[in-house]
């Protein structure tokens, strides 16, 4: 298998070099009679790269299933008794394998791109060459610096060291692929953008193509980030879902820039504006995705996720430098081609709201970037590492997120070009009233209701932020709802259908817009989930048999401790009876697991999820006195984060569906009566 | 090991055959011209007009705003159509075919 894997990787590398070289040659000499055929061979070579990388990945997975410990990577990341799904996860659980996995996903994206070349052969030829350039880098890395098929030195071992215990969790089989699909996917929009810049592509069609790819990528990244948060919440046992860890930040930065791009791209499509800005946003998405990979691989910044320090960090540093230089070169050369076709006509308009939204996303990205790199910068300047925590990020992120939420409510109500105050008043009054009523209700309800009820914003600034989040979320929900209602009403009047059927038809007519609104609604739910964090409670206690512990309205009683043993792990768990108002409501079993192959211990919290709050128990093991220690967290509203994430993903999927045809016509301007009619309302 | 070498040789041969054996004509697509770019813009402006009409009927845009925005978009569409008419003397360029 090692031979076959190495052969496949070398073949993929050689073909990528050919794809890049032949493709470039064909683009440089378009008038040569043989250039079209040369370009076609380059495209086909690119297609075969996918097959070769796929073969290498299969070889590695088969090696894991066959417990082939002659391969060093398999020895270090698997063992004989590892459950089957985690043997698949071996592919991305270590440095060499995850780079191979990166190559596989990039090749898969490139494969689809090269198959769809008929959309616009010349633009796709440029994009294919750019992607091939990126493929060369990653395949060189996997062939010459981080080879997953390297053989183990010394005598053959009877068993492997096992998979990292933190990765032995079902979500870990999906989370890395999703995140990688997000990271890797930004290569494609970047390739189209750079291709369009180099060839001075006339028009905005390239951005239409890019937008769809970006939406797919953004959807995967969203999914990956939330799966990662859910994994952190369910496995790491610290009671939270986001720790502002550098690796978490690494995934957040391209997501933020990608979100900004998905909004500003509409200005280019509809109004021919922000061309330079969008070009930079696409480049920033790609560059930040690579920077994130550099962070995790170089060991330059400490993180709970980061792989051990290795020599491949310098490869990434060079690659980041080269891509930046190439982009700058072509930008300086061809930036005049990116001149805006229109100017901002009104300060209150859809354009200005997008512009402001973009600036806020950029500010948020810079905040995260600064905080992530601050330990390294402080080390260079002062000689000692200063790490920044949640308060540093939250100081900027929370107010910015609140303003973004306000813009999410405002944006859909603003017209393109300019909006009058009368229009604003007409659309905004009722949602504002509804949001204020909900805000007052949350504030005036008794605290004894628990969760977010009875929030008194004057007690603490975090309560103020929570209340504002709820009020603005309700405002967004009402504006989104009113968009569906008003649109549905027009269709219902015209077709005589029921309101729900009309709203479905409305969504199908403009999937991008209404799918986007559903994403906004998902964001609202996520934000409501975040708002609960201001009211989190936690307690820790030594609990012997029959001992009690009180948290919120719950009384926790330790019934007993028990153990289990199998070939892969030893498990010890606590049996905790949970009482509420004197009634036994459930029994919870937080666990502590010892993995035999890796000789590492890990906790597995037990979480009782509810719409109001989560009761989260962690069995922390025995303390110095031999007493078992239980930690309890009461986290309000967390479930809404996961529900919101699902809604966001459904909305993204919906936005990718083709629009249904609209069977009506637009009146053609009088002066051009001979023009063809088009579909419209 | 011999089996693995034979497999590798077969894969290489099949890959080279697929890459370099190119019978028939190649699809090159239509040439992108200024006129085709303007037609794309025209479609976008029409779509904007359609959106505006819909929002007006949904009661989102007041009458005065609607008339002014519609007039702007119609002017833009008229300008595009005029330029397309100037550029277009014949039909849209047919897809290019390469010699095999």
Which residues in chain B have their CB less than 8 angstroms from residue A40's CB?
A: 22, 26
Please tell me what DSSP assigns to residue B93: P
pLDDT at A303 over 70: no
Tokens representing residue A85 in the block: 């799904």
Q: For position A447, what pLDDT does the model report?
A: 79
CA separation, residue A303 to residues A138, A248, A387 (Å): 23, 9, 11
Q: For position A104, what pLDDT does the model report?
A: 95
Q: Averaged over A298-303, what is the pLDDT?
A: 68
Distance of alpha carbon A29 from alpha carbon A120, whole angstroms: 18
Q: What is the DSSP string of A146-201?
A: S-TTPBPPSSPPSS-----GGG-SGGGGTHHHHHHHHHHHTHHHHHHHHHHHHHT-
> Domain limits of chain B?
27-87
pLDDT level of residue B1 (50, 70, 90 thresholds): confident
Query: pLDDT tens across A394-445, in order?
Result: 889 999 999 999 999 988 888 777 777 888 888 888 889 999 999 999 888 8
User: Which one of A5, A46, A203 makes the best mutation probe of the B interface by having the most chain B beta carbons within 10 Å?
Assistant: A203
Q: Which residues contact B94 (CB under 8 A, 6 or more apart)?
A: B30
Phi/psi for A618 (5° steps) reads -125, 130
pLDDT at A306 over 80: no
For residues A45 and A135, the answer to whether their CB atoms sit within 8 Å is no
Higher-scoring residue by pLDDT: B28, B84: B84
If 0-12 CB within 10 Å is exposed, 13-18 middle and 19+ buried, where does residue A613 land? buried
Please tell me what DSSP assigns to residue A666: P
Tokens representing residue A523 in the block: 């964001």
pLDDT at A664 over 90: no
pLDDT at A643 over 60: yes
Which residues in chain A have their CB less than 8 angstroms from residue B41's CB?
A: 203-204, 272
User: Which one of B30, B81, B88 makes the best mutation probe of the A interface by having the most chain A beta carbons within 10 Å?
Assistant: B81
CA separation, residue A308 to residues A95, A143, A300, A311, A571 (Å): 9, 19, 10, 10, 28
Question: Least CB-CB distance to B1: which of A3, A122, A679?
Answer: A3
Which residues in chain B have their CB less than 8 angstroms from residue A36's CB?
A: 26, 28, 98
pLDDT at A630 over 70: yes
CA distance B84 to chain A (A): 10
Query: pLDDT tens across A371-384, in order?
Result: 988 888 888 888 78
Which residues in chain B have their CB less than 8 angstroms from residue A487's CB?
A: 54, 58
Q: Which of B4, B7, B95, B88 is nearest to B42 (CA)?
A: B88
Distance of alpha carbon A667 from alpha carbon A259, whole angstroms: 35
Task: Look at A7-16, A533-542, A564-573 and tell me which has the smallest mean pLDDT.
Answer: A564-573
Query: pLDDT tens across B30-71, in order?
Result: 777 788 888 888 888 888 888 888 888 888 788 888 888 888
Higher-scoring residue by pLDDT: A200, B24: A200
For residues A307 and A385, the answer to whether their CB atoms sit within 8 Å is no
A272 to chain B: nearest residue by CA? B41
Q: Which of B71, B29, B16, B21 is nearest to B48 (CA)?
A: B71
Q: How many CB atoms lie within 10 A of CB B85?
A: 14
Which range of A8-17, A199-208, B6-15 scores highest in mean pLDDT? It is A8-17
Tokens representing residue A169 in the block: 């969790």
Taking the Cβ of residue B91 and every Cβ of chain A, the question of whether any pair is shorter than 8 Å is answered with: no
Tokens representing residue B74 in the block: 């119609």
Q: What percent of chain A has pLDDT over 70?
A: 95
Element (H, E) at A562: strand A554-565
Q: Across-strand partners of A576?
A: A558, A588
For residues A142 and A100, the answer to whether their CB atoms sit within 8 Å is yes
Please tell me what DSSP assigns to residue A620: E
Residue with tokens 């229009």: A423
Contact B65 A423 (CB under 8 A): yes
Taking the Cβ of residue B25 and every Cβ of chain A, the question of whether any pair is shorter than 8 Å is answered with: no
Helices (H) and strands (E) in chain B, counts: 3, 0
Contact B40 A52 (CB under 8 A): no
Buried b (16+ CB within 10 A) or exposed e, A566-605: eebbebbbbebbbbeeeeeeeebebbbbbbbbbeeebbbb
Which residues in chain A have their CB less than 8 angstroms from residue B82's CB?
A: 671-672
> Domain limits of chain A?
535-639
pLDDT level of residue A35 (50, 70, 90 thresholds): confident
Tokens representing residue A482 in the block: 């009113």
For residues A65 and A151, the answer to whether their CB atoms sit within 8 Å is no
Q: Averaged over B78-90, what is the pLDDT?
A: 82
pLDDT at A304 over 80: no
Higher-scoring residue by pLDDT: A152, A359: A359
Q: For position A121, what pLDDT does the model report?
A: 85
Q: For position A680, what pLDDT does the model report?
A: 35
Q: Averaged over A78-100, what is the pLDDT?
A: 84
Residue count of chain A: 681
CA distance A565 to chain B (A): 40
In the predicted model, what is the mean pLDDT of chain A? 86
Contact A202 B50 (CB under 8 A): no
Question: Least CB-CB distance to B28: which of A18, A121, A205?
Answer: A121
pLDDT level of residue A673 (50, 70, 90 thresholds): very low
If 0-12 CB within 10 Å is exposed, 13-18 middle and 19+ buried, where does residue B30 land? middle
Distance of alpha carbon A55 from alpha carbon A61, whole angstroms: 10
Which residues in chain A have their CB less than 8 angstroms from residue B20's CB?
A: 41
pLDDT at A674 over 50: no
Tell whether the torsion through CA atoms of A280, A286, A292 and A298 is positive or negative. negative
pLDDT level of residue A360 (50, 70, 90 thresholds): very high
Question: Least CB-CB distance to B22: which of A37, A48, A416?
Answer: A37
Pairs across A and B, CB distance < 8 A: 145
Which residues in chain A have their CB less than 8 angstroms from residue B7's CB?
A: 4
Contact B57 A44 (CB under 8 A): no
Which residues in chain A have their CB less than 8 angstroms from residue B30's CB?
A: none
Q: Which of A576, A635, A613 is nearest to A232 (CA)?
A: A635
List alpha helices for A383-460, DSSP H: 390-410, 421-444
For residues A341 and A415, the answer to whether their CB atoms sit within 8 Å is no
Q: Across-strand partners of A550?
A: A555
Residue count of chain B: 100
Higher-scoring residue by pLDDT: A529, A83: A529
Which residues in chain B have their CB less than 8 angstroms from residue A15's CB?
A: 15, 19
Residue with tokens 């007009």: B49
Taking the Cβ of residue B74 and every Cβ of chain A, the question of whether any pair is shorter than 8 Å is answered with: yes
Contact A487 B62 (CB under 8 A): no
Query: pLDDT tens across A505-561, in order?
Result: 989 988 999 999 999 999 999 999 999 988 889 999 888 888 889 998 899 998 888
Taking the Cβ of residue B99 and every Cβ of chain A, the question of whether any pair is shorter than 8 Å is answered with: yes
Residue with tokens 């230089």: A325
Residue with tokens 């009634």: A583
Element (H, E) at A591: strand A591-595
Question: Least CB-CB distance to B8: which of A4, A120, A681?
Answer: A4
Taking the Cβ of residue B48 and every Cβ of chain A, the question of whether any pair is shorter than 8 Å is answered with: yes
For residues A259 and A368, the answer to whether their CB atoms sit within 8 Å is no
CA separation, residue A331 to residues A107, A132, A198, A535 (Å): 27, 20, 8, 49
Q: Which residues contact B53 (CB under 8 A, 6 or more apart)?
A: A666, A680, A681, B70
Contact B54 A490 (CB under 8 A): yes
């Amino acid at each position: 298998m090692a031979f076959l894997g190495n052969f496949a990787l070398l073949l993929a590398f050689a073909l990528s070099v050919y794809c890049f070289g032949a493709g470039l040659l064909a683009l440089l000499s378009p008038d040569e009679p043989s250039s079209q055929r040369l370009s076609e061979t380059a495209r086909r070579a690119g297609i075969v790269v996918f097959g070769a990388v796929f073969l290498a990945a299969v070889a590695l997975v088969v090696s894991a299933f066959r417990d082939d410990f002659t391969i060093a990577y398999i020895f270090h990341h698997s063992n004989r008794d590892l459950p089957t799904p985690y043997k698949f996860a071996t592919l991305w659980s270590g440095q060499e394998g995850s780079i191979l996995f990166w190559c596989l996903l990039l090749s898969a994206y490139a494969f689809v791109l090269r198959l769809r070349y008929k959309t616009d052969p010349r633009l796709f030829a440029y994009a294919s060459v750019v992607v091939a350039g990126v493929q060369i880098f990653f395949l060189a890395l996997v062939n010459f610096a981080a080879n997953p098929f390297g053989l183990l030195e010394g005598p053959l071992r009877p068993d492997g060291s096992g998979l990292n215990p933190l990765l032995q969790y079902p979500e870990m089989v999906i989370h890395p692929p999703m995140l990688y699909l997000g990271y890797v996917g930004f290569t494609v929009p970047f390739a189209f953008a750079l291709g369009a810049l180099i060839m001075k592509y006339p028009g905005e069609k390239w951005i239409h193509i890019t937008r769809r790819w970006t939406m797919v990528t953004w959807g995967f990244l969203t999914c990956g980030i939330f799966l990662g948060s859910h994994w952190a919440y369910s496995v790491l046992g610290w009671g939270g879902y986001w720790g502002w860890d550098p690796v978490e930040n690494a995934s957040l930065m391209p997501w933020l820039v990608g979100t900004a791009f998905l909004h500003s791209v509409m200005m280019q499509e509809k109004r021919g504006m922000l061309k330079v800005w969008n070009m930079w946003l696409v480049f920033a998405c790609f560059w930040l995705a690579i920077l994130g990979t550099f962070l995790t691989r170089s060991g330059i910044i400490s993180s709970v996720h980061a792989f051990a320090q290795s020599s491949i960090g310098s490869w990434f540093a060079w690659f980041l430098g080269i891509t930046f230089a190439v982009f700058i070169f072509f930008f300086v050369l061809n930036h005049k081609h990116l001149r805006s076709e229109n100017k901002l006509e009104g300060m209150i308009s859809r354009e200005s709201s997008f512009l402001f939204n973009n600036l806020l996303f950029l500010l948020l990205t810079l905040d995260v970037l600064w905080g992530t790199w601050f330990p390294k910068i402080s080390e260079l300047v002062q000689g000692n590492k200063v790490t920044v925590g949640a308060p540093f990020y939250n100081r900027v992120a929370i107010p910015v997120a609140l303003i973004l939420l306000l813009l999410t409510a405002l944006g859909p109500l603003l017209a393109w070009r300019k909006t009058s105050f009368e229009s604003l008043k007409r659309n905004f009054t009722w949602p504002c009233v509804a949001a204020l009523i909900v805000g007052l209700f949350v504030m005036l309800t008794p605290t004894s209701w628990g969760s977010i009820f009875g929030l008194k914003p004057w007690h603490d600034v975090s309560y103020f932020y929570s209340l504002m989040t709820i009020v603005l979320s309700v405002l967004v929900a009402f504006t989104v709802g009113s968009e569906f209602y008003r649109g549905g009403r027009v269709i219902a009047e015209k077709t005589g259908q029921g309101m729900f059927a009309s709203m479905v038809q409305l969504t199908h007519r403009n999937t991008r817009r209404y799918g986007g609104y559903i994403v906004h609604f998902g964001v609202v739910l996520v934000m409501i989930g975040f708002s609960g964090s201001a009211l989190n409670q936690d307690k820790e206690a030594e609990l012997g048999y029959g001992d009690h512990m009180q948290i919120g309205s719950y009384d926790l009683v330790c019934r007993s401790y028990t153990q289990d043993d199998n070939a892969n792990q030893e498990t010890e768990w606590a049996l905790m009876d949970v009482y509420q108002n004197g009634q036994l409501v459930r029994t919870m079993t937080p666990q502590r697991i010892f993995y035999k192959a890796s000789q590492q211990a890990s906790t597995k919290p037990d979480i009782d999820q509810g719409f109001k709050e989560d009761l989260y128990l962690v069995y922390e093991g025995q303390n110095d006195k031999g007493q078992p220690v239980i930690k309890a967290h009461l986290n309000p509203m967390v479930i809404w984060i996961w529900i919101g994430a699902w809604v966001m993903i459904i909305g993204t999927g919906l936005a990718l569906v083709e629009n249904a045809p609209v069977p009506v016509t637009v009146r053609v301007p009088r002066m051009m009566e001979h023009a063809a009619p088009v579909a419209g309302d | 090991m011999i089996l693995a070498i034979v497999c590798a040789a077969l894969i290489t041969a099949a890959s080279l055959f697929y890459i370099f054996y190119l019978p028939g004509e190649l699809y090159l697509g239509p040439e992108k011209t200024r006129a085709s770019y303007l037609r794309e813009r025209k479609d976008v402006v029409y779509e904007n007009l359609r959106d505006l009409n819909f929002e007006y009927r949904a009661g989102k845009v007041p009458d005065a705003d609607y008339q002014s925005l519609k007039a702007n978009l119609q002017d833009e569409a008229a300008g595009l159509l005029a330029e397309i008419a100037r550029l277009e003397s014949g039909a849209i360029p047919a897809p290019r075919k390469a010699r095999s």
